[in-house]
Structure 1
Amino acid sequence: MSTYERNANRLTVFLLLVEIGLAVAGTIKLSGPIPIHFKGNGEPNRWGNPSTLLVIAFVGCCLVGLLWIIRHSSTELMNISGSPTSENRANQQQNTNQLLATIRAIVAGLFLGVISQILWVSFYHQKQIILWPSFLFIALILASTLFGLISALRLSADR
């Protein structure tokens, strides 16, 4: 495991712990309905129980867990262009592991951002959430995936 992946894993675990902590604290502190879905302009349009925060945290942890499971898939399952060699497979595996580590951290941050926004709207009685953080995380996922794909193509060309 590379240093990059270890650090990304540490960041991911930290973000998940904060996410779970905020969800538990919000469930305990909030009473009555909280906004759980928002329109395109950021205004809430569906309300739910504060325990919904725990469901959101659980889904975020499950997605990150799924990405951790995918990380352990065999290199034989990879669709590597060109003639696969042991060096090529090792480099492609490292590239894939780093991409998955990046996406895990971003997904954990995205779910932490969603829970934080819900808590902010609920505690401070705001009329709408701030939209740009969610779009930023989605753009980061797309950009890191594109970067990982470009790296994979370069690695397959280097054989």
Structure 2
Amino acid sequence: MFYENRPKIKIPRTFVENILDIAAIILFIAGAANLIMQWSSIPGTVPIHFNGAGEPDGWGSKVNLWILLVIGSMMWVLLTVLEKFPHVYNYLFLTEENAERQYKNARLMLNVIKNEVLLFFIYMSWVSGEIANVKNTSLSMWDLPIFIITITASIAFFIVRSIKLK
């Protein structure tokens, strides 16, 4: 079914979607507040790239810590807008009968992923500041794999759920 022919159903946001968004916003505000409070103690040069072992191998201005938060928040806002149009997503099994279930599932998947991505950007801004302040020497070698596994597991969970909802 082409997306032009798909039903455009107005589905109210769920309690879970609202809680996830509120939690992400609170954590974003906390991350920005932490950066503001720590700003004067952060040296002018901070790590902006890490090798596979989690050691910094690229350095840049401390303004890059804000850039991480801006990129994360811009992605969050854009994905929030995209959440409002579940009829344009790709679906494995979409029919008139299961459209509402599939839309809810896909919208929740997008909500979970956008919040996971924002949390990763907040975390990277915080840990880069910690490394620059020599409170920490490197990322854990598990930080990026955990993020990738989390995103992949979320996608897999919602794909399996979509198949069950057909």
- 1:98-137 residue pairs with structure 2 within 5 A? 98-124=108-134, 126-137=136-147
- 1:140-159 residue pairs with structure 2 within 5 A? 140-156=150-166
Question: Would you say the 8 A contact 2:86–2:106 is kept in 1?
Answer: no
CA RMSD of aligned residues (A): 1.9
Structure 1: gaps of 5 or more residues:
none
More helix by share: 1
1:125 deviates by: 5.3
Q: Return the TM-score normalized by structure 1.
A: 0.86
- AA paired with 1:116? W
- 1:7-156 residue pairs with structure 2 within 5 A? 7-75=19-87, 77-82=88-93, 84-85=95-96, 87-124=97-134, 126-156=136-166
1:42-78 alpha-carbon deviations (Å, 9 max, x no partner): 1111111111111111011111112111101142x23
Question: Would you say the 8 A contact 1:26–1:53 is kept in 2?
Answer: no
Question: Would you say the 8 A contact 1:117–1:130 is kept in 2?
Answer: no
Identity rate, percent: 22
Q: Return the TM-score normalized by structure 2.
A: 0.82
1:58-103 alpha-carbon deviations (Å, 9 max, x no partner): 011111112111101142x234445621x41111111012111211
Change over 3 Å in CA distance of 1:31–1:64 after alignment to 2: same
Secondary structure of the residue aligned to 2:43 is coil
Distance in 2 separating the partners of 1:2 and 1:109: 21
**Correspondence for 2:5:** none
**Correspondence for 2:9:** none
Secondary structure of the residue aligned to 1:128 is coil
Distance in 2 separating the partners of 1:54 and 1:125: 19
Equivalent residues, number? 154
